[in-house]
């Protein structure tokens, strides 16, 4: 179990941090086989802030590792992070990524059979739909 109570899953010899992440891998694998995307990669790391030293203390670099990089036929690269829910640390890292890498597209994806297309939806859209749904119920 991980720190977020996710079970590690191994598919094709690759260890995934969650079931949803492993399912998104299979989803991308199928899209590649069908020719819908050119290719995809796993676990690309970006430096958000370099390591530094202050008052004799060493500080490690702050990094963000995305789950997937999708390479489209037109040359576009979309970076995907599969989320079950967000954390304050994750939100901060996304904001730092978006600031530093304004030329790169990072999307948080969530699994949702109810709202998603092919079972997947952008995390921000899922939050909006859940909020709207709550208003209707009340």
* pLDDT tens digits, one per residue of 74-95: 999 999 999 888 889 989 999 9
Going by pLDDT thresholds of 50, 70 and 90, the confidence category of residue 112 is confident
pTM value? 0.84
121 vs 128: CA distance, rounded Å = 11
Show the DSSP H helices in 34-122 as ranges. Answer: 88-100
Among 8-12, 127-131, 132-136, the range with the most confident prediction by mean pLDDT is 8-12
Q: What three-state secondary structure class fits 56? A: coil
Name the region of 111 (left: φ>0; alpha: ψ -120 to 50; beta: rest). Answer: beta
* pLDDT tens digits, one per residue of 36-52: 999 999 999 999 999 99
82 vs 44: CA distance, rounded Å = 13
**Sign of the dihedral through C-alpha 124, 126, 129, 133:** negative
């Amino acid at each position: 179990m991980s720190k977020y109570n996710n079970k590690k899953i191994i598919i094709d010899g690759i260890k995934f941090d969650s079931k949803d992440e492993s399912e998104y891998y299979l989803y991308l694998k199928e899209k590649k086989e069908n020719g819908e995307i050119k290719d995809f990669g796993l676990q690309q790391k970006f430096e958000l802030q370099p390591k530094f030293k202050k008052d004799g203390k060493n500080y490690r670099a702050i990094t963000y590792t995305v789950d997937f990089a999708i390479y489209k036929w037109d040359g576009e690269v979309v970076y995907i992070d599969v989320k079950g829910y967000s954390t304050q640390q994750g939100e901060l890292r996304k904001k730092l990524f978006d600031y530093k890498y304004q030329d790169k597209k990072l999307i948080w994806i969530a699994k949702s059979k109810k709202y998603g297309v092919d079972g997947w939806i952008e995390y921000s859209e899922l939050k909006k739909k859940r909020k709207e749904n709550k208003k209707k119920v009340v």
